[in-house]
Structure 1
Amino acid sequence: MNKNKITQSLLLGAGMVVAATSLPAFAANVPDDIKLAAKQELVRGNGTEVESLDPQKVSGVPESNVIRDLLEGLVNQDGEGNLVGGVAKSWETKDNKTWIFHLREDAKWSNGESVLASDFVYTWQRLADPKTGSPYASYLDMTTMLNAGDIINGKKSPETLGAEAIDAHTLKVTLEKPVPYFVAMTVHTSMKPVNQKAVEKFGDKWTSPENYVGNGAFQLDNWVVNERIVLKPNKYYWDNGNTVLTKVTYLPIENQVAEMNRFLAGEVDVTYEMPNEHFKRLVKQNPDDVKVTPYLCSYYYEFNTAKAPFNDEKVRKALSYAIDRDVIAKFIVGKGETPAYNFTPLATNGLDVDMPDYSTLSQKERVAKAQALLEEAGYGKSNPLEFNLLYNTSENHKKIAVAIASMWKKSLGVTAVLENQEWKSYLDSKRQGNFDVSRAGWCGDYNEASTFLAIMRDGHSQNYPKYASKSYDGLLDQALTAASDADRANAYKKSEALLAKDMPIMPIYHYVNARLVNPKLGGYPEHNPEDNIFSKDLYIIAD
């Protein structure tokens, strides 16, 4: 796996000068010997109906997939995961606290108006503003942008945020602490700009096709809820000359078998995922269609630690120990996923983890420990434990939930009542704390351990387990102010150990990204560990 070159240089620590001068954009680079198909239209499966197309009001992968085409941030990524210029053509810092970004003069919105530094100031103030209610507000606080935390908590006004338009095309960002990987953080969906005039004129309806003003390579052409989202090229995009595709369609297909069948029938070019039970057959019968790539993503279950009995560490550990992760990873999903005993994927840049003691035990020994812990917590045959297990609608998630519920029943006598909800309802239930135990997945927003570990901070907007530990938060503070990469890695190691001890979540496996891809699709990124796919870089090859 090729590591993020820019991120590697930024991780050397505070005090160095980091500059990117006239960094080239990565656009579709069609080899000279490739003949393009006459029809350049792409159809992608996208898992589910999106919650919204407002970058400050979403938190899921399906939403980010579409928004990545509609809106462009300061920087993008190429097929290897390296940072490349987006709206920013260059940037510099002397201390990793004050960052200056120089924006392209030819970057425009889909209405023909220029993209300005003030657009990013407005957007980030909107992200922090409690009135917006962004599920990703805490992400801005993670950057340590000046006053972000106080604004999110209602203590200061959004106008005090450490983002300033020096002039029309120069953006100054002031952080409270040195963050050497700050530029990599700006790739994230929540940091992408929105058009202030459109938002203020249309309110929540600014995301409808007739009102949507974006600055990405594509613009919103049609949106039929629960059916399709259709995009067309944005003629005002600064690099539109290198966009090959003339149409991109996203389909909200939740059933993986149905999606597979539509792919095999030639109706879909890229699937969102694959049905686990068909993986081996597809590898054998359709090897050219199957793409398995690295993915910085963890699959886990989270406890609602704010309610009994999951406020008891013994109950949490008992349920976690009783899961046979080898069975889940090798047989239930079985596409190359690895059993997980820690939260952060092991392939993450700069990560060094000591596996917890229970990972070295046999499954029989883990179950014995689990039984003893549950009994100590007051549960057994005379007082059996029963709770709801929430997951978002998906056959793959259902198969995993059924398998784990069976393990709990067999080894502990515990009854988990399965409850599936559509994507939007599932997200709302988690945000409102209306769950006992819930399926969860977290994919890295940038290639550094803090993108995973920070969501378990007390008060983080994505901390649905309501985990609260001053020791844990202190370790993350140490990592942020670490004098060296080694010190930072050591703080992360201790953080992972504390998560394993307190067990607010049950890591189950680390993902790979397995999907079906039309062999005629050129430019598909096979080495981007964050799975950031930009349609502007893709093209259809002639038969």
Structure 2
Amino acid sequence: MKLTTALSALALLAATPAAFAADIPEGTVLSENQTYTFWLLDAIKSMDPQINTDVEGSDILRNLFEGLYNEDAKGDLIPGVALSHDLSDDGLTYTFHLRPEAVWSDGKPVTAGDFVYAWQRLADPATASEYAWYMELMQVVNASKITAGELPPSDLGVKAIDDHTLEVTIETPLPYFPQMLVHGSTFPVRQDVIEAFGADWTKPENMVSNGAYTLSEHILGERVEMDKSATYWDADKTVMTHLTGLTINDNNQALTRYLAGELDRVQIPAGQYPRLKAEYPDEATSLPYSCSYIYNMNLSEKGPEALKDVRVRKALSYAMNRDIVVDNILQGGQRASYNWTHWATAGFVMPEIDYSHWSQEERTAKAKELLAEAGYGPENPLDLTLNYNTDDSHKKIAIAAQQFFKPLGVNLTLNNMEWKVHTDRMQNQDFDLARYAWCGDYNEASTYLDFFTSYSGHNNGHFFNDEYDAIMKESKTAADPQPLYTQAEQILATEMPFIPIYHYAKVDMIASDIKGLPTENVMQTWYGRDLYRVAE
């Protein structure tokens, strides 16, 4: 979405009030039961907007909190707490006009100061947020020096002009800046609540939030319960009265519970989409979803010496038979990938990646040749361990990789663990290879490509490349950054710091009486306030 489109849409929406919440067609008969129960694979590690890093956690936070802007069903920006904004002629100063009717769950007004506090808190090294770098990516003035501990958080380029006017100054024009504001790390939080309760402020009895729902219960690893908020500014148009997220680590068990009527939405397990689409054509869905699935490689000093050799890294990537993964294992509309940025990302131009055009036989032959050059083969095997988090599809892909690598003389040990342990070990560079997936924070290629910069908060494999950093920094000031994004992807294909495997599709069973979920937004961003259940 171009900036001009975003601005014109926001201006129109601000000028002509519309049903931002559930938009129900005339004549629709609603069910008396307006509750929605959805599946969570893993425990939600944090309910703190500035701490959370998980996609599933973001889904929860998007319902409990509200940022400056939201997304509609097509991924276009619509007002959230901000009704509109003005942009200075030099493209560096954004002035956001906040809606006066926005209040917290305890009835106090949501103010510009709440955003100032949240953003300063995100950048503050004392918060130790993995998303502190997001303030840098947004180019907010002084963010880099604050995250480095060189300036106090109070020097961040964000200030409250008055309670309903927020001013943000960035260091260079960034056309997609408004799109970045839908991310949970930018959501407001209350300073008085956090100071009163410390780390316990996210407990249901302590949390004060400003979204369409309030947190009524959170049993870690079991369930999250959310009730419709009576104080939300658009509560009158919010139909769903209660949301429940159930944590079920076994995807097949989750599907069984869906078929028993206990869930309204669940991911379809690997390989089962064709059957379920035939049996339940109105419930089985597959849509492009902006996430990429990879095996990350540990290139740090703590990683295996062999992975520091680009020949080894390329050999492992070449040996991965992606067609078997997407066509035989997953079977849900996913696409084999040979790069990082999801193919459906707005405006992205894929580079010419040579090995993507080879047959698998050619890739495997080249992999054996490269490994032999590096000193490895059946006579001198390479031993590696792959960490992956609990999920049946992850397990199936890992077992397949083990078989793909074996003829090369690579012995792959599989190491399964729960999500929290898995992510902790990645963050501490305690792995050889690690299953990982990244979902875009906004619909623009930089959300992927900034990940592998040296200043990224998520570059757990420690791939550091000066040319790559320079290209990504240049992209921030380029009139057209797309050619630079293509160059960056080419460097990743050349250096191969990870094994690309597939680009996601959102493959779900969705109860036929649930309406309002997005189908045209590649981000698959959903809000409970948009949903409703029809009478059957």
Note whether the superposition's TM-score is higher than 0.5: yes
* Aligned counterpart, 1:515: 508
Q: Does 1:67 align with 2:67?
A: no
Q: Tell me the equivalent position of 1:342.
A: 339
Pair 21,526 (structure 1): closer, same or farther in 2 beyond 3 Å: closer
> In structure 2, the residue corresponding to 1:310 is in which secondary structure?
helix
- Find the counterpart in structure 2 of residue 172 from structure 1: 167
Q: Counterparts of 1:398-409 in structure 2 under 5 Å?
A: 398-409=395-406
Q: Which residue of 1 aligns with 2:437?
A: 441
**CA positional deviation for 1:359:** 1.1
Structure 1 SS opposite 2:271: helix
Cα distance, 1:19 vs structure 2: 6.0
Cα distance in structure 2, aligned partners of 1:355 and 1:296 = 21
Find the counterpart in structure 2 of residue 456 from structure 1. Answer: 452
The one-letter amino acid of 1:105's match is P
For residues 3-47 of structure 1, what are the alpha-carbon distances to aligned partners after superposition, in whole Å with 9 as ceiling and x for unaligned? x4x656469xxxx9x967716562111112110111111111121
1:496 equivalent among 485, 489, 499: 489
Q: Which moved more, 1:144-153 or 1:370-379?
A: 370-379
Query: C-alpha displacement at 1:275, in angstroms?
Result: 0.7
Task: State the shift of 1:389 in Å.
Answer: 0.2
1:472 aligns with 2:464: no
- In the alignment, structure 2 segments of 5+ residues that lack a partner are none
CA RMSD of aligned residues (A): 1.6
Alignment partner of 1:331 out of 321, 328, 332 = 328
- Counterpart for residue 259 of structure 1: 254
Residues 314 and 377, structure 1, Cα contact 8 Å, conserved in 2: yes
Aligned mates of 1:324, 1:396 — CA distance in 2: 15
Contact 1:342/1:355 (<8 A) preserved: no
- Among candidates 518, 525, 533, match of residue 526 of structure 2: 533
Provide the residue aligned with 1:182 in structure 2.
177
Q: Matched residue of 1:439: which SS?
A: strand
Partner Cα distance (1:183, 1:345) in 2: 21
CA distance, structure 2, for counterparts of residue 368 and residue 317 of structure 1: 12
Deviations 1:166-201 (A, max 9, x none): 111000000011111111001001111111111111
**AA matched with 1:31:** P
Greater mean alpha carbon deviation, residues 339-348 or residues 25-34: 25-34
Give the distance between the partners of 1:338 and 1:64, measured in 2 at CA: 24
Matched, 1:380 2:377: yes
| Alpha carbons 1:127, 1:134 under 8 Å: kept | yes
The change in CA–CA distance for 1:247 and 1:21 in structure 2 (over 3 A counts) is closer
Question: Is residue 205–residue 211 contact of structure 1 (8 Å, CA) maintained in 2?
Answer: yes
Counterpart of 2:307 in structure 1 is 310
Aligned residue identity for 1:416: L
Residue in 2 that maps onto 1:114: 109
Q: How far 1:81 moved relative to its partner? A: 0.7
- Percent same amino acid among aligned pairs? 42
Counterpart-to-counterpart distance in 2, 1:451 and 1:68: 19
Q: Once the 2 structures are TM-superposed, how far is the Cα of residue 453 of structure 1 from its aligned partner?
A: 0.2
**CA separation in 1, counterparts of 2:164 and 2:517?**
32
What residue number does 1:29 align with? 23
Quote the Cα distance in structure 2 between the aligned partners of 1:20 and 1:438.
Answer: 46
Determine whether 1:40 maps to 2:34.
yes
Corresponding residue SS for 1:146: coil
Query: How far is the alpha carbon of 1:524 from its aligned partner?
Result: 1.5
> Where do 1:260-275 residues align within 5 Å?
260-271=255-266, 273-275=267-269
In structure 2, C-alpha distance between the alignment counterparts of 1:228 and 1:301, rounded to whole Å:
29
Are residue 208 (structure 1) and residue 203 (structure 2) matched? yes
Distance 1:365 1:529 in 2: 33
Q: How does 1:39-438 map to 2 (within 5 A)?
A: 39-94=33-88, 95-271=90-266, 273-306=267-300, 307=303, 308-410=305-407, 412-438=408-434
Question: How far apart are residue 474 of structure 1 and its match?
Answer: 0.9
Moved more, 383-392 or 68-77: 383-392
Q: Distance in 2 between matches of 1:343 and 1:40?
A: 39
Please tell me whether the aligned partners of residues 20 and 92 of structure 1 are also in contact (alpha carbons under 8 angstroms). Answer: no
Structure 1 distance, partners of 2:211, 2:246, is 20
In structure 2, give the amino acid aligned to 1:138. Answer: W
Is the contact made by 1:341 and 1:355 (CA closer than 8 Å) also made in structure 2? no
SS at match of 1:415: strand
TM-score, normalised via structure 2 length? 0.96
1:222, CA displacement in angstroms? 1.1
CA distance in 1, matches of 2:343, 2:134: 22
Alignment-mate amino acid for residue 478 of structure 1: E
Instruction: Describe the shift of the 1:507–1:118 C-alpha distance in structure 2 as closer, same or farther (beyond 3 A).
Output: same
Change (3 A) 1:249 1:129: same
CA distance in structure 1 between the partners assigned to 2:306 and 2:121 by the alignment:
38
Residues 341-385 of structure 1 deviation map (CA, whole Å, 9 limit, x = unaligned): 111012111111223111111111111111111111121233210
Could you list the per-position Cα deviations for residues 417-439 of structure 1 after superposition, in whole angstroms to 9, with x for gaps in the alignment?
11111111111111111111011
Aligned partners of 1:390 and 1:116: how far apart in 2?
A: 44
Q: Is the 8 A contact 1:388 1:437 kept in 2?
A: yes
Q: 1:149 to 1:10 in 2, by over 3 A?
A: farther
Alignment check: 8 A CA contact 2:379 2:409 kept? no
Q: Which runs of 5+ in 1 are unaligned?
A: none
Counterpart CA distance in 2 for 1:288 and 1:129 is 48
Name the CA distance, whole Å, in 1 between partners of 2:357 and 2:241.
53
Contact persistence 2:66–2:210 (CA under 8 A): yes
- Letter aligned with residue 399 of structure 2: V
Tell me if the contact between 2:6 and 2:77 (Cα under 8 Å) persists in the aligned partners. Answer: no
* 1:49 partner letter: A
Measured in 2, the distance between the counterparts of 1:260 and 1:335 equals 15
